[in-house]
């Protein structure tokens, strides 16, 4: 058998994606070929990537140099444990989304299917390249390719003006972020002129320059991840894209920013200062709270999910922050725990958010509606989608025994057990912040109940919803794959932690695996069973056993008689579907409690109105207080510069003449 | 797993399932007496359950399978919750399955399923109740977690059995951090169990009801299971409170014979607790729904202050 190094395998995967994309260009409008052959092939390639990544996790880092790019500036690639883990996430979530996409894309929606196929697979390949890159040049090329390919995917339906606007906003923020990342690499190479990551690792920067590099990385990767206040593009761009692309962007692309943050702060920088961690923690928690409050008040289902992604990214950054704090004080066991929680959540969020986004895609196709106020009752017409989305919803709410809870549990454990931090303030504040994480998690549950309850439960708010059709078989396979991932990750967290262990050992020299091996595979106990333990399988088994036993006993002792009747109408016989709680109504308590966070525009009807209308628009303060002033400033400057532009040749000649004079004066 | 552990586990579970309706009956009876009524008797909840189980279940036409599955899942969750709380003994084999955080997660699962089931029919009351229940929940859940965190920080563990053991072995004194946590816990348990300042279990008034609005569409065996689960929840909450704030009389692994004394200790503590619950319910008035967030936010703040007091002063 041919022995294939994992890095060669990963490169083959990237080449395969690119060739699938090019095939798409040649079959530009042959819809059946693209959707039934190319996309499933891409999905299989994703699976291959996951397998190679799994293999690479257990091997020592491998390097490769690709003779691409400029002369004397080849692409350096390196596949270490961290890269392998993120490739595993890309492959695992990508496989489900690709197979779903095979059934999802419809004919005649904006961009021709072949072109969409090219952009989609270039997007996947560039994400893999970002993770694989081992020098700033290759990284930036891959990063930009990722931004551009996703921009074209977002604007697939470019005939809609809102989608174009969203795309341009995304492109702008992505590039502002990319500049910061480029500058960060510039600081990291410390004037040696060698931009390989190996050289950056060898440099020892002064704390000042290290902090500068860290802050630039935080800005750059934060812009990609949607960290507050750089988040404004995310709720615009993610919903605008076709659903499988939203799934990839929210589920997978945001994780490349997390990857970059971990790579820079744990691998490339040789030292870590505690206040970096504190900053990450503060920014992360603020982002998470902001995201989840906004998620609960949304009335567009894809925007709701986009805000929920902001919340999850915030939690991820907070976890990285904790890892940095502990590592700065040399507490490697706790640092490893925090990083494990972070990476666990990376995988878990990739799966459940992809699942939720593709679920909204199904709803969108079946009903043509994104507005929660016009949906409802879909569990009766699309049971497959509803039940699979329910798994994603429960995982996203952080409910045991699914994957969201396992990562949240690890994160809360990290927050709670901080004794012995040499910094008294941090020592006191961090456990208290655990309460904030609990609040965020509970609010996430609120948002998810709203999402699922309003879309899938109740009665259909429009008559047309009764014709909604369920998912096709390819879509079902894709969703099943993602849902199974949520369940498996949730039920068997210890097995997955063994994989994450390779990363933390590589980066921090410590892993939780030893402890996990001691307590056995059934029980998750990061320190010891006396201190904290959680066994998802026992937990799930317990609930299931009690429920089934109750069911059987009730049937056996009493009876199973049942009768269908109209719902109780409280004596008011004329109940319609419009009388159900709306999405706005469901979010109203949160809107009231968190009013200072939101920018509310209320249009209340007066008593004299012939056609009373009630309208509430929830806006984002940061857009009005931060972005619009900057935009106005730029506009003002542009107008000032524009004065120079008179449109008459004689004036331009005068400018040239004056410039010449000035130059002569300078070089005199 | 030892034989005595298995025994105490089974005993705790059976005791919870049997005694939970009695506790509800006890509280209701005291409420009646304190309000100068004669009351339905202690055994009324059992009669109620028996009656409901015998009746046929009337299901709304639009109910999906989710609606029918929810009562069983909620009942399963509450049963497991009672199984992992060290009410009689700290020697519980099942307690490794879930620690304090997972216990709160368990309550959250039940709440989410109940709320979703209420939204399933699509009547205005159901979704109104679901909205209110989630409103209470999203504030009560972090407050409860913060209370448990205080205890976890004292015991340096989130495992419930370790928390109870280490709290039981402390010197007898009033600890300020636990006092704050205790007040917060009382607030939370009133809210979570739909008791008077937050919700009134005896009313069906549209403007105020929370729990009753959620279960309006349930009937027959489904309603019986939900009512039983609600009793179990009250029982579980009482037992957590008693185990953390009054951890005396709970048997330990080394002394399995203490189990014999643990049962009367638990029953008498529950009896006193139930009386106090009825007393507070009688003395206080139902709040407007808009005041509930303030009530719960103050519980959250108190719990956080409890944590801070422990972290600052170490007591």
Q: What is the DSSP letter of A135?
A: B
Residues of chain B with C-beta less than 8 angstroms from the C-beta of A450: 134
Which of A295, A568, A588, A592 to substitute to test the interface with B, most B CBs within 10 Å? Answer: A568
Q: How far is B240 from chain A (nearest CA, A)?
A: 17
Q: Name the pLDDT band for A525 (thresholds 50, 70, 90).
A: confident
Across residues A478-493, what is the average pLDDT? 94
Cβ atoms within 10 Å of A425's Cβ, excluding its own: 9
Residues of chain A with C-beta less than 8 angstroms from the C-beta of B80: 539, 542-543, 546
Q: How far is A564 from chain B (nearest CA, A)?
A: 5
pLDDT 10s digits, B237-275: 999 999 999 988 888 766 767 888 888 999 999 999 999
| Among candidate residues A421, A530, A341, the one with its CA nearest the CA of residue B157 | A530
Least confident range of A150-159, A563-572, A647-656, B236-245: A563-572
Across residues B184-189, what is the average pLDDT? 95
Nearest chain A alpha carbon to B51 = A558
Subunit contact B106:A400, Cβ cutoff 8 A: yes
Q: Which residues contact A283 (CB under 8 A, 6 or more apart)?
A: A218, A222, A227, A228, A314, A317, A321
Q: How far is B109 from chain A (nearest CA, A)?
A: 6
Across residues B188-215, what is the average pLDDT? 85
Percent of residues, chain A, with pLDDT higher than 90:
57
ipTM of the predicted structure? 0.94
Residues of chain A with C-beta less than 8 angstroms from the C-beta of B112: 394, 397, 399, 445, 448-449
Q: Which of A449, A547, A570 sits opposite B134 (nearest CB)?
A: A449
Tally of structural domains, chain B: 1
| pLDDT higher than 60, residue A1 | no
| pLDDT higher than 80, residue A41 | yes
Q: Which of A416, A450, A547 sits opposite B75 (nearest CB)?
A: A547
pLDDT of residue B207: 73
Q: Which of B66, B75, B131 sits opposite A550 (nearest CB)?
A: B75
- What stretch of H or E contains A37? none
- Contact indicator for A61, A131 with CB cutoff of 8 Å: no
**Site of tokens 């089931």:** B117
Across residues A465-479, what is the average pLDDT? 87
Cβ atoms within 10 Å of A192's Cβ, excluding its own: 12
Percent of residues, chain B, with pLDDT higher than 90:
60
Least confident range of A158-162, A569-573, A610-614, B46-50: A569-573
**C-alpha radius of gyration, chain A, whole number:** 26
Phi and psi at B201, nearest 5°, equal: -70, -15
Subunit contact B158:A531, Cβ cutoff 8 A: yes
Subunit contact A546:B61, Cβ cutoff 8 A: no
Q: Which of A398, A453, A588 sits opposite B130 (nearest CB)?
A: A453
Residues of chain B with C-beta less than 8 angstroms from the C-beta of A530: 157, 159, 162
**C-alpha radius of gyration, chain B, whole number:** 19
Subunit contact A534:B99, Cβ cutoff 8 A: yes
Which of B9, B20, B57, B123 to substitute to test the interface with A, most A CBs within 10 Å? Answer: B123
Q: How far is B297 from chain A (nearest CA, A)?
A: 10
B149: contact with A, CB 8 A cutoff: yes
Average model confidence (pLDDT) for chain A? Answer: 90
The CA distance from A477 to A474, in Å, is: 5
- Contact indicator for B91, B253 with CB cutoff of 8 Å: yes
The CA distance from A565 to B109, in Å, is: 28
Q: What is the DSSP letter of A626?
A: I
Across residues B269-292, what is the average pLDDT? 91
Q: How far is A509 from chain B (nearest CA, A)?
A: 25
Q: How far is B277 from chain A (nearest CA, A)?
A: 26
Q: Which of A523, A559, A585 sits opposite B131 (nearest CB)?
A: A585
| pLDDT higher than 70, residue B1 | no
| Among candidate residues A329, A439, A340, A351, the one with its CA nearest the CA of residue A403 | A351
Percent of residues, chain A, with pLDDT higher than 70:
99
Residues 93-112 (B) with a CB less than 8 A from some CB of A: 94, 96-99, 101-102, 104-106, 108-109, 112
Angle made by CA atoms A411, A345, A220, in degrees to the nearest 5: 100
Q: Which residues contact A174 (CB under 8 A, 6 or more apart)?
A: A147, A151, A223, A224, A233
Q: Which of B79, B149, B156 sits opposite A546 (nearest CB)?
A: B79
Q: How far is B113 from chain A (nearest CA, A)?
A: 9
pLDDT of residue A560: 83
Subunit contact B60:A566, Cβ cutoff 8 A: yes
Residues of chain B with C-beta less than 8 angstroms from the C-beta of A419: 156
Q: Name the pLDDT band for B48 (thresholds 50, 70, 90).
A: very high
Q: Name the pLDDT band for A464 (thresholds 50, 70, 90).
A: confident
pLDDT 10s digits, A289-318: 999 999 999 989 999 999 999 999 999 999
**B293: domain range?**
3-313
Which of B50, B86, B109, B147 to substitute to test the interface with A, most A CBs within 10 Å? Answer: B109
| Among candidate residues A276, A338, A336, the one with its CA nearest the CA of residue A508 | A336
For residues A607 and A91, the model is more confident at A91
Which of A373, A380, A394, A551 to substitute to test the interface with B, most B CBs within 10 Å? Answer: A551
What is the three-state SS of A218-249?
HHHHHHHHCCCCCCCCHHHHHHHCCHHHHHHH
Q: Which of A558, A564, A592 sits opposite B53 (nearest CB)?
A: A558
| pLDDT higher than 60, residue A2 | no
B205: contact with A, CB 8 A cutoff: no
Subunit contact B97:A542, Cβ cutoff 8 A: yes
The CA distance from B121 to B116, in Å, is: 10
| pLDDT higher than 90, residue A354 | yes
Residues of chain B with C-beta less than 8 angstroms from the C-beta of A593: 293
pLDDT of residue A567: 86
Subunit contact A438:B141, Cβ cutoff 8 A: yes
Q: Name the pLDDT band for A109 (thresholds 50, 70, 90).
A: low
β-strand pairing of B57-60 with A562-565: parallel
Residues 154-173 (B) with a CB less than 8 A from some CB of A: 156-159, 162
What is the three-state SS of chain B?
CCHHHHHHHHHHHHHHHHHHHHHHHHHHHHHHHHCCCCCCCCCHHHHHHHHHHHCCEEEECCCCHHHHHHHHHHHHHHHHHHHHCCCCECCCHHHHHCCHHHHHHHHHHHHHHHHHHHHHHCCHHHHHHHHHHHHHHHHHHHHHHHHHHHHHHHHCCCCHHHHHHHHHCCCCCCCHHHHHHHHHHHHHHHHHCCCCCCCCCCCCCCCCCCHHHHCCCCCHHHHHHHHHHHHHHHHHHHHHHHHHHCCCCCECCCCHHHHHHHHHHHHHHHHHHHHHHHHHHHHCCCCCHHHHHHHHHHHHHHHHHHHHHHHHHCC
B306: contact with A, CB 8 A cutoff: no
| pLDDT higher than 80, residue A420 | no
Nearest chain B alpha carbon to A569 = B123
| pLDDT higher than 90, residue B204 | no
pLDDT 10s digits, A221-231: 999 999 988 99
Q: Name the pLDDT band for A108 (thresholds 50, 70, 90).
A: low
Residues 275-294 (B) with a CB less than 8 A from some CB of A: 290, 293
pLDDT of residue B261: 86
Angle made by CA atoms A173, A305, A383, in degrees to the nearest 5: 145
Q: Name the pLDDT band for A71 (thresholds 50, 70, 90).
A: confident
The CA distance from A449 to B107, in Å, is: 15
Q: Is A607 helix (H, G, I), strand (E, B) or coil?
A: coil
Give the helix ranges, DSSP H, for A368-492: 383-396, 403-416, 424-456, 473-491
Residues of chain B with C-beta less than 8 angstroms from the C-beta of A405: 102, 105
């Amino acid at each position: 058998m041919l022995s294939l190094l994992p890095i060669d395998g990963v490169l083959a995967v990237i080449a395969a994606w690119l060739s699938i994309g090019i095939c798409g260009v040649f079959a530009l409008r042959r819809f059946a070929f693209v959707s039934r052959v190319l996309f499933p092939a891409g999905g299989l390639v994703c699976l291959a990537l996951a397998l190679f990544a799994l293999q690479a996790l257990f091997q020592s880092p491998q390097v490769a140099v690709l003779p691409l790019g400029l002369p004397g500036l080849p692409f350096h690639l390196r596949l270490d444990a961290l890269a392998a883990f993120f490739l595993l996430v890309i492959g695992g979530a990508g496989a489900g989304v690709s197979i779903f996409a095979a059934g999802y894309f419809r004919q005649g929606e904006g961009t021709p299917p072949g072109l969409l196929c090219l952009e989609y697979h270039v997007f996947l390949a560039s994400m893999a390249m970002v993770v694989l890159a081992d020098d700033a040049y290759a990284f930036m090329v891959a990063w930009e390719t990722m931004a551009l390919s996703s921009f074209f995917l977002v604007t697939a339906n470019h005939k809609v003006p809102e989608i174009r606007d969203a795309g341009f906003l995304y492109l702008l923020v992505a590039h502002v972020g990319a500049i910061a990342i480029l500058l960060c690499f510039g600081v990291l190479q410390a004037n040696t002129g060698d931009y390989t990551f190996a050289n950056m690792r060898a440099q020892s920067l002064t704390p000042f320059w290290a902090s500068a590099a860290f802050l630039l990385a935080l800005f750059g990767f934060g812009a990609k991840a949607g960290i507050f206040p750089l988040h404004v593009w995310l709720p615009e761009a993610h919903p605008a894209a076709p659903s499988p692309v939203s799934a990839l962007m929210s589920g997978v692309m945001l994780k490349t920013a997390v990857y970059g943050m971990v790579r820079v702060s744990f691998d490339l920088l040789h030292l870590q200062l505690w206040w970096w961690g504190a900053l990450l923690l503060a920014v992360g928690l603020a982002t998470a709270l902001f995201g989840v409050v906004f998620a609960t008040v949304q009335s567009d289902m894809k925007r709701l999910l986009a805000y929920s992604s902001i919340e999850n990214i915030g939690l991820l950054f907070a976890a990285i922050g904790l890892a940095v704090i502990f590592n700065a004080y040399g507490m490697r066991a706790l640092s490893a725990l925090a990083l494990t929680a972070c990476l666990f959540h990376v995988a878990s969020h990739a799966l459940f958010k992809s699942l939720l986004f593709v679920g909204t895609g199904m709803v969108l196709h079946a009903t043509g509606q994104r507005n929660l106020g016009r949906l409802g009752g879909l569990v009766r017409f699309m049971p497959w989608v509803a039940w699979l989305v329910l798994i994603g919803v429960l995982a996203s709410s952080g409910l045991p025994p699914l994957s969201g809870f396992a990562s949240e549990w690890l994160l809360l454990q990290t927050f709670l057990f901080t004794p012995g931090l040499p910094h008294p303030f941090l020592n006191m504040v961090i456990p208290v912040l655990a309460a904030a994480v609990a609040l965020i998690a509970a609010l996430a549950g609120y948002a998810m109940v709203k999402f699922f309850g309003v879309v899938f439960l109740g009665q259909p708010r429009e008559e047309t919803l009764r014709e909604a059709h369920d998912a096709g078989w390819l879509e079902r396979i894709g969703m099943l794959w993602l849902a199974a991932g949520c369940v498996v990750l949730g039920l068997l967290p210890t097995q997955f932690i063994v994989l994450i262990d390779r990363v933390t050992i590589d980066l921090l020299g410590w892993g939780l695996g030893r402890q996990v091996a001691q307590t056995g595979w059934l029980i998750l106990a990061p320190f010891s069973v006396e201190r904290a333990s959680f066994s998802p399988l026992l937990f799930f088994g317990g609930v299931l056993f009690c429920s089934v036993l109750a069911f059987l006993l009730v049937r056996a002792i009493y009876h199973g008689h049942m009768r269908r009747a109209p719902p109780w109408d409280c004596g008011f016989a004329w109940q319609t579907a419009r009388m159900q709680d709306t999405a706005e109504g469901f979010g109203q308590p949160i809107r009231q409690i968190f009013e200072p966070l939101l920018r509310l525009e209320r249009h209340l009807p007066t008593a004299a109105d012939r056609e009373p209308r009630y309208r509430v628009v929830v806006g984002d303060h940061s857009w009005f207080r931060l972005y619009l002033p900057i935009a106005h400033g730029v506009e003002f400057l542009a107008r000032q510069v524009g004065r120079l532009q008179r449109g008459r040749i004689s004036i331009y000649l005068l400018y040239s003449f004056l410039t010449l004079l000035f130059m002569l004066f300078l070089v005199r | 797993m030892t034989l005595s552990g298995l025994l105490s586990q089974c005993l705790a579970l059976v005791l919870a399932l049997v005694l939970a309706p009695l506790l509800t009956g006890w509280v209701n009876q005291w409420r009646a007496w304190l309000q100068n009524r004669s009351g339905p008797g202690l055994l009324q909840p059992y009669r109620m359950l028996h009656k409901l189980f015998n009746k046929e279940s009337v299901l709304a036409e639009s109910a999906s399978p989710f609606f029918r599955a929810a009562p069983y899942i909620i009942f399963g969750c509450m049963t497991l919750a009672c199984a992992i709380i060290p009410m009689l003994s700290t020697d519980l084999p099942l307690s490794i399955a879930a620690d304090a955080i997972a216990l709160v997660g368990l309550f959250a699962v039940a709440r989410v399923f109940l709320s979703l089931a209420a939204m399933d029919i699509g009547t205005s009351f159901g979704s109104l109740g679901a909205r209110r229940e989630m409103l209470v929940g999203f504030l009560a859940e972090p407050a409860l977690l913060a209370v448990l965190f205080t205890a976890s920080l004292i015991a340096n563990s989130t495992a419930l059995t370790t928390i109870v053991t280490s709290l039981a072995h402390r010197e007898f004194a009033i600890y300020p951090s636990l006092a704050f946590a205790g007040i917060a816990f009382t607030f939370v348990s009133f809210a979570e169990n739909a008791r008077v300042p937050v919700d009134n279990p005896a009313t069906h008034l549209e403007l105020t009801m929370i729990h009753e609005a959620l279960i309006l569409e349930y009937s027959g065996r489904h309603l019986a299971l939900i009512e039983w689960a609600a009793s179990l929840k009250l029982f579980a909450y009482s037992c957590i409170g008693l185990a953390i704030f009054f951890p005396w009389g709970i048997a330990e692994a080394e002394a399995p014979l203490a189990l014999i004394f643990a049962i009367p200790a638990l029953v008498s503590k529950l009896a006193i607790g139930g009386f106090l619950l009825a007393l507070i319910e009688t003395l206080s008035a139902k709040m407007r729904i808009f005041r509930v967030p303030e009530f719960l936010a103050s519980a959250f703040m108190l719990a956080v202050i409890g944590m801070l007091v422990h972290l600052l002063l170490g007591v």
